[in-house]
Structures are given as C-alpha cells and as structure tokens.
C-alpha cells in the first residue's frame, strides 16, 4: 500500500551543480504592496505618446519608452505590439529591450502573486533543492534540509520561516529522519549519490562519462528533477538539443513550480530555433524564481524576445536603420536604447522617407503575438493546477511504527523536537530530562545551546510523516496528551483535582512573590502550569511539625512573567491570590500536590457593618501613622519591594480576602511567619482587624520605648 503527501516548490542555475531555489511557501514571502512606479509612468499617458508619434513621426526612442510604459501599467500585449512595430521600422539590438523586458517581468510576477498563485511546499522534501533529503539536518526552527544544500547555499535564514541561522556546522544529521528517508526512498537516495558522482565528472569536463552516470542514476530515481535538469544541461552542451529538451520537459513535469526546469527547457528550445516557446519558458522561469537574481533571466528573455520579433518582422517589408529626430529628445527622457548613426547614403535616405511616409506611426494589432501571450497565460494556469498535485509517495509496506516511538516515554512521539546532536524526543519528555541534566539523554552530548535558546519548535518532517502514515495513532496520542493537560488545567476545581504545591515561604494575597526556580521538580511543576494554561500554583511555608513538612494553609500564586537563564533555571514573578486550606496531601512526579478548599471571608451581617467600618478606619489610620514613622532607609526598601500602600476599596467588606491594604501591612510588619499564617487562615474580617490593631499598638509602643531604654543605659 502506498500513501502520498502533497505539496510543491521552485529554484536557479549554475552550470553543473543544481543551485536550489526555494518554494514560494506562503504569501508572507510575497510583496505586500506593488513595486514603486517610476516617474515616467506618472508623467506620460498612452494618449501623450500616441499624440507625439502622430505629430513628430516615428522615433525608436519614443517607441521604446512607450512600450516600457505600457508594460508597466499591465498592458503587456500592447507593449509587445509597439516593439513589433519598432522592429518593423528599425534595426534593433537586444540591449534596447532591457527596459521593456524589466517592466514586463515585474508586472507578470506581481500579477501572478496578487492573484493568489503561491507554491505548495512538500514538507517531506528539502526546502532548498526540493529533492529527497540527503544527510538531513534539522534546524532550530524545526525545518529539515540536506546538509549539502545548507553548506553550499551558505544560508543565513531558513527559507521557510526566515529564522536566523548560526553555527550550522555544529548541527548533526537527524538520526530518525535519515533512517526513515533511507527506508522509504532508498532508490532516490542512491540516485543522489550517483548524481553527485556525475556532477563531479562534469566539473572535470568529462561530459560523456557524466551522461552515463546520470543514466544509471535515472534508473534509481526516474522522478529526480535535479538529475533530469543536470543531464539536460550536459546533453545540450554536447549538442544534443532534442534529448536535452526531453529531459527539461520531464523535469518540469516532476516539479511544475521549479523555475530552473523552465530555464533548461528554454535553453534547449532556443537551440532548436523555437524562439516563441523559448520566450514563454524564460518568462515562466522569471515568474517562478524566488531567491536568485533575476537579471540573468531578464537578459535571456531580452535575447529570446529579440529573436522572436526579428523573425516575425523579417517578412513584413522594408526595415531600416534610423535615428530619432532631434526635436523628440526635448519631449522624452533619453532611454537606454539608441540607434545606429544615420547613413550618409542619399539613396538610403530617400528610401527611408518614402517608406516612412507610407507607414503609420502608431502600432497595429499583431495576432501572432497575441497567440504567444495567450499561450503563456495558458501554460501558467496549467502550472498552477499541476503544482497543487505534486506528491511524494510512501510505501506503507516499508513502514515501521517503532521508528516513531520516544525513547524516554516509550509512547509515540508527540510534538517531536530534535537536539543539535540529531536525536528526537517528545518535547515534554526532553524538557523533563533537561531539568536534571544538560546532556542528550541518548548520546550524553552537551546540549546547553538547545537549553539556552529555549527551543521548542516541532520537527516538521517527523510530525507530518507520522500524521500521514499513522493518523489514527497520532489522534490517540494527541488525545492522551490533551487529557493530561486537562487534568492539570482542572487543578483546584474540586477536591478530586489536586493543585501543585511549592514549599518555600508564606505567600500573602495581593503581594508579589518573586521566585528563583532551580530544583528539577519545581522546574517541571512551573512548566506544566504554563503549558496547561492555569499559570498558578499553591505556595505553603515549611513546618517541621506539619504533615509532609509543610503547613496546612497557603496562598495561590499567579504567574505574571518568567525569565529563563541559559542553564534552565528561571526567575518567576508571581502575585498572591486565593487562600486555601489543604484537605489531603500527595506527591506527583517528585513535587507535592494537594486537594484544597479555597477560603473566603465570612459574610458580614448588616448590623455589624458599623462596628466593622469604625474598626477598619481606626486600624487603617494607625497603620498609616506607623508607616510614616518608620526610618527613611527602611521605608525606601519597603516601597521598592512592596510599592505604596493600596488605597481603600469601595465595599471592601464584600471582597473574598478583605481589603488589600491590610495584607500589605501584614507583609511588612516585623512578624514571625507563624503569626502571619494565623492571620492568613482567619476568615473573619473583624477578628483579623482586631489582631492587626493589637499588633500595631504593640509595635508602636516598642518603637516609643526603644529610645528611652537607650537613654537610661
């Protein structure tokens, strides 16, 4: 049984070795706005050019400017007809077409992209050469390339996602991808080896031997577009244009959006004298090209167009050299083209005047050119349909599902990631290992760089391959992971769902609590809180006489921000929220968990509100007075850590934890943590205010007595 994976691509052209062109993988690589229009197009219009030609007569410079303007505004057919008319009247050279060809290429490329024509990248192929992955290297962004492509192209960014690359020489071959590719597409891999041998022979100018090696490679990999392109090039060099054309056309059929295939095809067509088809193929190449310079392609298009127009107009009648009239230069900017100097022959001048007098200065319709342009459009539409159908076949008889098992959890890989040493694991499994060690779990190679860069990009090849050949298993594995995340996300919703417990200090509601997390168990706990989306955990103070070594009351901490260090430690900024009472205690994966009951202040009867208000205002005033009396240095330290005292909320008696200023005072008072714990567990606002009132009075009295004691001594 065979399955296929859809997708497609695009590339350019050195002589022997394939230069890789990237696929137009998404619209984010396409220009968001049309290219800037030159000044010429804004100043003149079609009517201006035609009026000038009628009044001043034919002029080659004006014709070229006119054709350039028409191409720029999208009237490519009219532009070609103007050129045909110019060729009819004058002897033109290739360099005079550069300006027009550049505008034509810019317009057709923009039109192709604005109409939603973008490539379909096959994720099981190299994004650079679009062939089978040979010595696959997985980048930190998760995309996999051939090693040779990476080194040969000297990429600084990933061609798929634009991720900036560095230290590529330190990345090892992806072990799993290499094994899978060798098993599924062994013939193509062997073909790559033979193709490389053929390329070396070409570099040594042994062309005939190279063709023989390419022929052997074609038996192993008949659909290798790179091989077909290289053989086409060598055959063309040997003068076998027909054979070169067949290989080029086969390469185009294999990869309809690969620009280099059309380049090879156009070169062969040119040698066969099929200039119209060559012009079309060169133009297709220019439209599809993504990463290499277009200038060399534009030069070839100019040559092909020159041959086409020259042949087309050669049978139209009188053609001659001429020079623009001197007055025309005052109306138009000097174009790139110029014409040969006027002949001194009197007969030539008489003939010129006689011919031009009977010729319209305005171009006529050229049905043949219109057919050429229609054929180009038709070919591009065929390209679009063919490109969406590109597939890479996988023989399921060669599938071994054990290849895709994680060596850490012994389940199928989920969100597979690849280390710089080339080994692949579930992302969560590797993260847990890195909590304890910075070495690869398999080969023990240091992967500090992986840890320092906080990489988490999934290896695209492995993920797509698994979803293609074993979709049911992937769905089941995803379900297992989601159940685990749902369990973590439900923490604290009821007594059956435990919350993670961090044992370190006494956290207080509304008060910030920065943490330095370095223990492996707590690194795992914090990561799970983030991945599940809860972004909170319980904080309890340690107690020697408490069950499991910590208090039975605590506060939930909400994670506001995390800063990671290069060795995997983290600085976690949190703030206290809900209070809780522990119902039962447990341990999970090394860290403590607990079933809890969340605490709220008791509802205050309406007949007690007056007493609450009176006591609240008294305690608040006393707390403000005490804080104002604190020594300035101590006060600055308190403010830098806890900020200003919160203002009194409206209807503070209805807030589940009471007024925020009260917790602020509890946090800064010089109290033993056990006293703070007794205040934290109290659910009566009235009793909490009474306790704080009593503490404040004692603290103030002590501050007043301290100078007197010092004076008596």
Instruction: Give per-residue pLDDT as tens, 157-168.
Output: 898 898 988 877
Statement to judge: residues 641 and 694 lie in one domain: yes
User: Per-residue DSSP letters for 377-428?
Assistant: HHHHHHHHHHHTT-EEEEEGGG--GGGGB-TTTSSB-SSEEE-TTS-EEEHH
Q: Are 388 and 8 in contact, with CB atoms under 8 Å apart? A: yes
In a domain, 17, yes or no: yes
Statement to judge: residues 419 and 511 lie in one domain: no
Statement to judge: residues 663 and 560 lie in one domain: no
Q: Of 211-220, 442-451, 457-466, which gets the smallest average pLDDT?
A: 442-451
pLDDT class of 330 with cuts at 50, 70, 90: very low
In a domain, 638, yes or no: yes
Percent of the chain at pLDDT > 90 equals: 53
pLDDT of residue 52: 84
Statement to judge: residues 444 and 471 lie in one domain: yes
CATH number at residue 565: 2.30.130.40
pLDDT of residue 25: 32
CB atoms within 10 A of CB 535: 15
Is residue 80 over pLDDT 60? yes
**Region 115-138: what's the mean pLDDT?**
83
Phi, psi dihedrals of residue 83, rounded to the nearest 5°: -65, -40
In a domain, 21, yes or no: yes
Is residue 12 over pLDDT 60? no
pLDDT of residue 2: 53
165-186: buried (b, 16+ CB within 10 Å) or exposed (e) per residue? beeeeebbebbbbbebbbebbe
pLDDT of residue 597: 92
Which residue segment(s) compose the domain that 40 sits in?
A: 4-130+314-371
Distance CA 323, CA 631 (A): 96
pTM score, whole prediction: 0.73
Instruction: Give per-residue pLDDT as tens, 501-527.
Output: 999 999 999 999 999 999 999 999 999
Statement to judge: residues 437 and 528 lie in one domain: no
Distance CA 281, CA 372 (A): 11
Statement to judge: residues 105 and 19 lie in one domain: yes
Helices (H), 272-392: 275-288, 295-313, 346-357, 367-387
Closest CA to 50 of 369, 364, 339, 373: 364
Is residue 646 over pLDDT 80? yes
Instruction: Give per-residue pLDDT as tens, 605-619.
Output: 888 899 999 999 999
Q: Are 689 and 615 in contact, with CB atoms under 8 Å apart? A: yes
Q: Of 84-88, 448-452, 588-592, which gets the smallest average pLDDT?
A: 448-452
pLDDT of residue 554: 96
Percent of the chain at pLDDT > 70 equals: 84
In a domain, 45, yes or no: yes
pLDDT of residue 354: 44
Rg (CA), the chain: 39
pLDDT, the chain, mean: 83
- Asked which of 544, 567, 599 is the last residue of a domain, the reply is 599
Statement to judge: residues 341 and 457 lie in one domain: no
**Region 331-348: what's the mean pLDDT?**
37
Higher-scoring residue by pLDDT: 711, 446: 446
State the total domains in the chain: 5
Is residue 24 over pLDDT 50? no
- Asked which of 445, 478, 511 is the last residue of a domain, the reply is 478
Statement to judge: residues 26 and 122 lie in one domain: yes
CATH number at residue 433: 3.30.40.10
Instruction: Give per-residue pLDDT as tens, 668-681.
Output: 999 999 999 999 99
Instruction: Give per-residue pLDDT as tens, 616-631.
Output: 999 999 999 999 988 8
Statement to judge: residues 8 and 97 lie in one domain: yes
Statement to judge: residues 418 and 511 lie in one domain: no
Reported in sequence order, the residue ranges of 566-607 that DSSP labels E, i.e. its strands, are: 570-588, 591-599
In a domain, 176, yes or no: no
Statement to judge: residues 405 and 501 lie in one domain: no
In a domain, 88, yes or no: yes
In a domain, 14, yes or no: yes
CATH number at residue 212: 1.25.40.10
pLDDT of residue 28: 30
pLDDT of residue 336: 36
pLDDT of residue 389: 54
Statement to judge: residues 117 and 14 lie in one domain: yes
pLDDT of residue 437: 86
Which tokens hold the place of 259?
């620009």
Instruction: Give per-residue pLDDT as tens, 112-121.
Output: 888 766 656 7
Is residue 321 over pLDDT 50? no
Q: Are 94 and 337 in contact, with CB atoms under 8 Å apart? A: no
pLDDT of residue 13: 47
Higher-scoring residue by pLDDT: 44, 654: 654
**Region 193-221: what's the mean pLDDT?**
94
- Asked which of 599, 618, 651 is the last residue of a domain, the reply is 599
Instruction: Give per-residue pLDDT as tens, 531-545.
Output: 888 899 999 999 877
pLDDT of residue 546: 66
In a domain, 223, yes or no: yes
């Amino acid at each position: 049984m065979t399955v296929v994976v859809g997708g497609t691509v695009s590339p350019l052209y050195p002589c022997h070795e394939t230069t890789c062109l990237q696929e137009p993988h998404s619209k984010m690589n396409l220009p968001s706005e049309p290219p800037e229009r030159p000044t010429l197009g804004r100043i003149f219009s079609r009517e201006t050019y035609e009026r000038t030609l009628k009044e001043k007569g034919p002029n080659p410079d004006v014709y070229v400017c006119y054709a350039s303007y028409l191409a720029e505004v999208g009237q490519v057919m009219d532009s070609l007809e103007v050129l045909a008319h110019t060729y009819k009247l004058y002897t033109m050279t290739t360099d005079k077409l550069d300006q027009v060809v550049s505008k034509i290429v810019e317009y057709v490329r923009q039109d192709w992209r604005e109409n939603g024509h973008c490539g379909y990248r096959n994720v099981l192929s190299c994004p650079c050469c679009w062939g089978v992955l040979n010595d696959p290297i997985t980048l930190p962004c998760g995309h996999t390339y051939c090693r040779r492509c990476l080194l040969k192209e000297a990429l600084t960014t990933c061609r798929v996602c634009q991720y900036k690359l560095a230290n590529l020489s330190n990345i090892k071959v992806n072990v799993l991808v290499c094994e899978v590719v060798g098993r599924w597409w062994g013939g193509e891999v062997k073909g790559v080896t033979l193709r490389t041998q053929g390329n070396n022979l070409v570099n040594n100018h042994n062309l005939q031997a190279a063709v023989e090696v390419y022929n052997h490679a074609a038996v192993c990999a008949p659909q290798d577009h790179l091989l077909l392109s290289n053989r086409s090039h060598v055959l063309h060099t040997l003068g076998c244009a027909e054979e070169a054309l067949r290989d080029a056309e086969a390469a185009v059929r294999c990869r309809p959006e690969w620009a280099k295939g059309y380049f090879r095809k156009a070169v062969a067509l040119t040698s066969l004298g099929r200039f119209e088809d060559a012009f079309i193929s060169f133009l297709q190449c220019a439209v599809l090209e993504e990463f290499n310079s277009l200038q060399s392609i534009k030069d070839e298009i100019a040559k092909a167009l020159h041959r086409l127009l020259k042949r087309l107009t050669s049978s139209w009648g009188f053609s001659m050299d001429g020079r623009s009239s001197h007055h025309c230069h005052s109306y138009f900017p000097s174009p790139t083209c110029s014409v040969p100097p006027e002949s001194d022959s009197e007969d030539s001048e008489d003939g010129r005047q006689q011919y031009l007098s009977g010729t319209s200065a305005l171009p006529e319709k050229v049905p043949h050119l219109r057919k050429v342009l229609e054929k180009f459009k038709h070919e591009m539409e065929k390209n679009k349909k063919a490109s969406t159908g590109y597939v890479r076949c996988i023989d399921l008889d060669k599938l071994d599902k054990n290849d895709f098992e994680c060596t850490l959890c012994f389940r199928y890989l989920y969100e597979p990631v690849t280390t710089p040493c080339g080994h692949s694991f579930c992302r969560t499994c590797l993260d847990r290992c890195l909590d304890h060690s910075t070495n690869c779990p398999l080969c023990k190679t240091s992967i500090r760089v992986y840890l320092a860069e906080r990489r988490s990009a999934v290896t695209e090849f492995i993920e797509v391959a698994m979803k293609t050949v074993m979709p049911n298993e992937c769905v089941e594995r995803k379900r297992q992971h989601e159940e685990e995340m749902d369990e973590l996300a439900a923490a604290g919703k009821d007594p059956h769902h435990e919350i993670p417990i961090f044992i370190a200090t006494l956290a207080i509601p509304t008060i910030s609590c920065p943490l330095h997390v370095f223990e492996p168990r707590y690194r795992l706990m914090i990561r799970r809180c983030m991945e599940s989306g809860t972004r909170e955990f319980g904080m309890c103070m340690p107690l020697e006489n408490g069950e499991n070594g910590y208090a039975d009351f605590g506060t939930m901490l909400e994670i506001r921000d995390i800063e990671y260090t290069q060795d995997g430690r983290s600085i976690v900024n949190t703030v206290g929220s809900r209070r809780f009472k522990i119902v039962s205690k447990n341990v999970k994966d090394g860290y403590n968990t607990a079933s809890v009951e969340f605490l709220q202040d008791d509802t205050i009867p309406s007949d007690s509100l007056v007493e609450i208000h009176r006591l609240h205002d008294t305690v608040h005033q006393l707390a403000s007075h005490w804080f104002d009396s604190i020594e300035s240095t101590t006060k600055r330290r308190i403010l830098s850590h806890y900020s200003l005292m919160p203002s009194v909320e409206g209807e503070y008696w209805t807030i589940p934890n009471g007024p925020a200023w009260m917790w602020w005072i509890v946090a800064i008072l010089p109290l033993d943590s056990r006293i703070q714990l007794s205040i934290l567990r109290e659910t009566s606002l009235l009793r909490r205010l009474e306790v704080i009132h009593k503490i404040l009075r004692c603290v103030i009295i002590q501050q007043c007595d301290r100078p007197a004691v010092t004076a008596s001594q």
